């Protein structure tokens, strides 16, 4: 899952230059296809193997029943509920922290952008094990026994993804002019943010949401060290009891992430396609 | 035209409200580090008047406009609009419509919703907003385009929507911050005339900022030429052109020839002719004489002191580039010791003035030189 997340990050940030480059090198189309096929195989073969393994039955047959049976599995619903709760808390706190900060920095302190970029990268540089052990060491006792502590840690982990998504979104719009136009028309800061800035950051916000949710749904180290059975922890634990179901659940989780990603690109495309007539 | 009288008769056709207030900028100072963007800058706008601030980049013209809008803080000085001191009044309460240099339409809203934005902020109901927005789109000749999004409109159309949006809440003052500079030449000319027509019709006091002198001269009641954070001169376009107060203004507005001359008892001698002018210098001093291309005459003369270097067809007139004062008459060479003089002639009267022709250049008898 961690690999999937970093992959998401790469596609959202590297998107703009890619088409221009491929257009320029039209001559080596076959080489590009070859790379695509190799990369495709690299990802698809394990997935296919996992899928075959999940739908296999003990007598050598094939059955999709394993997918239908997932919700009834022991602890599955608890794990999902907990993870969704963590995702929602982490998401809300992350957005409330990052959106106004990023907008303010872009408007008033553009020189701080670099600094902030560096700061938000710290959670990636510090290994999760170190981070969680440190947090457990210093966390106030009233938070220690609750999963909310984990949600707060996830906020820290989500910062790089959310900030970078918003940062590139903010760079793509003439923020200063839009804000000044809105203010000169009589709008206050609140309305300017809600009616002018946020609607034009739609795809950046969506990217921040998806990346944060995907991160929470994929994070294993901290959850297991904090001894909570979140979704990924449950998969690992449950694998020992029923490997087939565990693999089937992993596949579904992957599909879910892809669906979210597809949603982002759909929204993006609708925004960018000029409907000139 | 006295603008005050004009403003009294102007009413907003949409509301019946009399528009146009007086604006007073008094002794504004603003420093950015070592740079004095505004250095004791003062400016008055009569109700309904369109005043343009003209100047090179960095002269402080945009800072002045932004100070009036409240987008830029000033270190000292007062801004009074309609008798109200705007010190400490935030942008959104200043009741000013603004059109920006770059496209500032909200990309997520249609043209109509963009125009209606200021009305929505003021809590007008939806039907009234829509009616007023459509009316203003009609005013900028974009009726029927209300449902388009900004990216479906051309640059000129976007700026017209921006103008309609700025005017929709019936602002006391309209601020135009180089609204035409991102557009191509033809659109620019059409749109500046449209801006002037709309502004005249509504009678909204307007401050326009540009670095394009043609733009400034063509649509303004008065033009203020700025330099280093101060007003160098403010006057009607005709006066500014005909009687520039300083060499800087003369240089910046229109085209100017710099010619070597000598002062006489009652004027200056240039290109072999004496012109009356007050120089404030003793007779016999060597001076720089500034003359407009149309204040010079050029006649074919094989024994003349000038040689035509090139001609530029400008429509009704043709600009003749003449090399004068070279000690060697071997044709025009850059690096010679003479100067190149520009002379405007009616295009119908430039026969015999092709490149290489020998000519005589002299000031017209009624030329009004400026002596530096």
- Give pLDDT tens digits for A4-57: 333 333 333 333 444 444 455 556 888 999 999 999 999 999 999 988 888 887
Question: Does position B209 have pLDDT exceeding 90, yes or no?
Answer: yes
Lowest mean per-residue pLDDT among A172-176, A230-234, B197-201: A230-234
Characterize the bridge pairing of strands B50-54 and B205-210. Answer: parallel
Characterize the bridge pairing of strands B173-177 and B205-210. Answer: parallel
Residue B277: predicted pLDDT: 85
**Per-residue pLDDT averaged across A148-173, rounded?**
88
- Distance from the Cα of A172 to chain B's closest Cα (Å) equals 12
What are the tens digits of pLDDT across the range B22-40?
999 999 999 998 888 999 9
Q: Count of A–B CB contacts within 8 Å?
A: 76
- Any idea where the domains of chain B sit in the sequence? 3-252, 257-371
Confidence of residue B260 (pLDDT cuts 50, 70, 90): confident
Q: Cβ–Cβ of B91/A173 closer than 8 Å?
A: no
Q: Which of B98, B102, B105 sits opposite A184 (nearest CB)?
A: B98
- Find, in chain B, the residue whose alpha carbon is nearest to that of A199: B108
Question: Does position A92 have pLDDT exceeding 80, yes or no?
Answer: yes
Q: Cβ–Cβ of A184/B102 closer than 8 Å?
A: no
Characterize the bridge pairing of strands B23-32 and B76-81. Answer: antiparallel
Q: Cβ–Cβ of A177/B117 closer than 8 Å?
A: no
- Distance from the Cα of A193 to chain B's closest Cα (Å) equals 12
pLDDT averaged over every residue in chain A: 80
Q: Higher-confidence residue: B350 or A23?
A: B350
- Distance from the Cα of A169 to chain B's closest Cα (Å) equals 14
What are the tens digits of pLDDT across the range A114-146?
888 888 888 888 887 788 788 888 888 777 778
Q: Which of B103, B117, B152 sits opposite A185 (nearest CB)?
A: B117
Q: How far apart are CA A109 and CA A248, in angstroms?
A: 48
A260 Cα distance to chain centroid: 9
**Per-residue pLDDT averaged across A205-218, rounded?**
87
CA distance readout (Å), B3 to B68, B198, B203: 21, 15, 10
Asked if A171 contacts A117 with a C-beta cutoff of 8 angstroms, the reply is: no
Q: What is the edge-to-edge ordering of all strands in the sheet holding B370-371?
A: B273-276, B267-270, B257-263, B286-291, B370-371
Residues of B in Cβ contact (< 8 Å) with A174: 102-104
- Find, in chain B, the residue whose alpha carbon is nearest to that of A188: B92
Enumerate the H helices of chain A as residue ranges: 2-14, 17-24, 29-55, 65-68, 76-108, 112-125, 128-138, 141-144, 148-171, 175-184, 189-191, 202-218, 221-225, 231-241, 243-272
**Per-residue pLDDT averaged across B337-342, rounded?**
82
Residues of B in Cβ contact (< 8 Å) with A206: none
The tally of CA atoms less than 13 A away on the side-chain side of residue A203 is 21
- Distance from the Cα of B304 to chain A's closest Cα (Å) equals 58
Residue B16: predicted pLDDT: 44
Q: What is the DSSP string of B97-161?
A: EEE-SS--S-TTS-HHHHHHHHHHHTT--HHHHHHHHHHHHHHTT-TT-TT--GGGS-HHHHHHH
Residue B328: predicted pLDDT: 52
Residue B5: predicted pLDDT: 39
What are the tens digits of pLDDT across the range B59-112?
999 999 999 999 999 999 999 999 899 988 999 999 999 999 887 999 999 999
Query: Is residue B96 within a helix (H) or strand (E), and if so which, with residue range?
Result: strand B96-99
Q: Cβ–Cβ of A185/B121 closer than 8 Å?
A: yes
Q: Higher-confidence residue: B181 or A59?
A: B181
Instruction: Tell whether B179 lies on the interface with A, counting CB pairs under 8 A.
Output: no
Q: How far apart are CA B237 and CA A129, in angstroms?
A: 73
- Distance from the Cα of B350 to chain A's closest Cα (Å) equals 48
pLDDT averaged over every residue in chain B: 86
Q: Cβ–Cβ of B106/A187 closer than 8 Å?
A: no
Q: Higher-confidence residue: B129 or B281?
A: B129
Residue A251: predicted pLDDT: 87
- Find, in chain A, the residue whose alpha carbon is nearest to that of B164: A185
**Per-residue pLDDT averaged across B124-129, rounded?**
92
What are the tens digits of pLDDT across the range A94-111?
999 999 999 999 998 888
Return the top range by mean pLDDT from B80-84, B257-261, B272-276.
B80-84
- Distance from the Cα of A269 to chain B's closest Cα (Å) equals 14
Residue B62: predicted pLDDT: 93
Residues of A in Cβ contact (< 8 Å) with B108: 196, 199-200, 202
Q: Could you tell me which CATH class the domain A2-6+75-271 is placed in?
A: mainly alpha
Instruction: Tell whether B303 lies on the interface with A, counting CB pairs under 8 A.
Output: no
Residues of A in Cβ contact (< 8 Å) with B122: 186
- Distance from the Cα of A13 to chain B's closest Cα (Å) equals 22
Asked if A197 contacts A179 with a C-beta cutoff of 8 angstroms, the reply is: yes
Instruction: Tell whether B123 lies on the interface with A, counting CB pairs under 8 A.
Output: no
- Interface list for chain A against chain B, based on CB atoms closer than 8 Å: 173-174, 177-178, 180-188, 191, 195-196, 199-200, 202, 274-277
Residue A25: predicted pLDDT: 53
Question: Does position B1 have pLDDT exceeding 50, yes or no?
Answer: no
Q: Does the model's pTM come out above 0.80?
A: no
Question: Does position A62 have pLDDT exceeding 50, yes or no?
Answer: yes
What are the tens digits of pLDDT across the range B293-333?
989 999 888 888 889 999 999 888 999 999 887 655 444 44
Q: Cβ–Cβ of B122/A191 closer than 8 Å?
A: no
Residues of B in Cβ contact (< 8 Å) with A198: none
Q: Which of A174, A274, A275 sits opposite B102 (nearest CB)?
A: A174
Q: Cβ–Cβ of A186/B122 closer than 8 Å?
A: yes
B308 Cα distance to chain centroid: 32
- Distance from the Cα of B62 to chain A's closest Cα (Å) equals 14
What are the tens digits of pLDDT across the range B109-123?
999 999 999 999 999
Instruction: Tell whether B241 lies on the interface with A, counting CB pairs under 8 A.
Output: no
Structure tokens at B340: 């190149």
Residue A5: predicted pLDDT: 38
Instruction: Tell whether B98 lies on the interface with A, counting CB pairs under 8 A.
Output: yes
Characterize the bridge pairing of strands B306-313 and B296-300. Answer: unpaired
Q: Cβ–Cβ of A177/B104 closer than 8 Å?
A: yes
Lowest mean per-residue pLDDT among A24-28, A256-260, B61-65, B281-285: A24-28
Residue A269: predicted pLDDT: 66
Q: Cβ–Cβ of B121/A183 closer than 8 Å?
A: no
At the fourth CATH level, the homologous superfamily of domain B3-252 is P-loop containing nucleotide triphosphate hydrolases (3.40.50.300)
Say what the ipTM of the complex is: 0.79
Residues of A in Cβ contact (< 8 Å) with B152: 274-277
Residues of A in Cβ contact (< 8 Å) with B97: 184-185
């Amino acid at each position: 899952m961690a690999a999937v997340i970093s992959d998401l990050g790469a596609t959202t940030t590297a998107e703009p230059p890619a088409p221009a480059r491929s257009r320029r090198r039209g001559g080596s189309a076959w080489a590009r296809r070859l790379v695509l096929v190799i990369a495709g195989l690299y990802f698809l073969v394990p997935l296919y193997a996992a899928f075959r393994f999940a739908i296999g039955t003990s007598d050598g047959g094939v059955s999709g029943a394993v997918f239908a049976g997932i919700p009834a599995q022991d602890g599955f619903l608890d794990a999902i509920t907990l993870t969704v709760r963590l995702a929602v808390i982490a998401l809300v706190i992350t957005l409330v922290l990052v959106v106004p900060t990023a907008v303010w920095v872009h408007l008033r302190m553009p020189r701080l952008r670099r600094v902030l970029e560096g700061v938000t990268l710290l959670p990636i540089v510090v290994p999760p094990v170190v981070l969680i052990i440190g947090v457990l060491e210093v966390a106030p006792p009233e938070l220690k026994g609750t999963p909310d502590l984990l949600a707060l840690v996830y906020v820290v982990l989500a910062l790089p993804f959310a900030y970078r998504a918003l940062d590139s979104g903010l760079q793509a719009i003439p923020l200063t002019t839009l804000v000044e136009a809105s203010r000169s028309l009589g709008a206050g800061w609140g309305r300017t943010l809600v009616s002018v800035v946020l609607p034009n950051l739609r795809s950046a916000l969506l990217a921040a949401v998806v990346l944060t949710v995907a991160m929470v749904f994929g994070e294993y180290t901290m959850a297991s060290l904090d001894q909570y059975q979140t979704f990924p922890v449950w998969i690992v634990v449950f694998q020992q009891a029923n490997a087939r179901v565990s693999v089937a659940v992993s596949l579904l989780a992957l599909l879910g992430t892809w669906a979210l990603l597809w949603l982002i690109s759909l929204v993006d495309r609708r925004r960018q396609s000029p409907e000139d007539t | 035209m006295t603008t005050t009288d004009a403003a009294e008769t102007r009413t907003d056709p949409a509301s019946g409200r009399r528009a146009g207030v007086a604006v007073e900028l008094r002794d504004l100072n603003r420093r950015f580090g070592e740079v004095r963007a505004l250095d004791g800058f003062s400016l008055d706008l009569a109700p309904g008047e369109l005043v343009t601030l003209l100047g090179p980049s960095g002269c402080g013209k945009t800072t002045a406009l932004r100070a009036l809008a409240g987008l830029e803080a000033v270190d000292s000085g007062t801004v009074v609009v309609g008798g109200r001191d705007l010190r400490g009044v935030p942008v959104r309460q200043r009741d000013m419509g603004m059109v920006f240099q770059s496209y500032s339409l909200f990309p997520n809203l249609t043209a109509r919703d963009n125009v209606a934005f200021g009305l929505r902020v003021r809590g007008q109901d939806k039907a009234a907003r829509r009616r007023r927005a459509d009316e203003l789109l009609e005013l900028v000749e974009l009726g029927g385009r209300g449902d388009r999004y900004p990216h479906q409109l051309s640059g000129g159309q976007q700026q017209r929507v921006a103008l309609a949006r700025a005017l929709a809440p019936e602002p006391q003052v309209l601020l135009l911050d180089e609204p035409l500079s991102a557009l191509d030449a033809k659109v620019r000319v059409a749109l500046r005339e449209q801006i002037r027509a709309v502004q005249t019709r509504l009678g909204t006091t307007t401050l326009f900022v540009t670095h394009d002198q043609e733009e400034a001269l063509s649509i303004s009641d008065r033009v203020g030429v700025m330099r280093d954070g101060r007003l160098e001169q403010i006057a009607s376009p005709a006066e500014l052109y005909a009687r520039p107060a300083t060499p800087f203004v003369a240089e910046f507005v229109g085209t100017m020839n710099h010619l070597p001359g000598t002062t006489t008892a009652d004027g200056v001698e240039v290109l072999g002719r004496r012109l009356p002018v007050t120089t404030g210098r003793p007779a016999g001093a060597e001076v720089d004489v500034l003359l407009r291309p149309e204040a010079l005459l050029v006649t074919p003369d094989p024994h003349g002191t000038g040689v035509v270097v090139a001609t530029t067809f400008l429509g009704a007139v043709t600009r003749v580039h003449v090399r004068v004062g070279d000690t060697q008459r071997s044709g025009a060479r850059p690096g010679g010791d003479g100067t190149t003089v520009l002379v405007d002639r009616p295009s119908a009267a430039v026969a015999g003035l092709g490149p290489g022709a020998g000519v005589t250049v002299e000031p017209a008898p009624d030329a009004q030189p400026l002596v530096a």
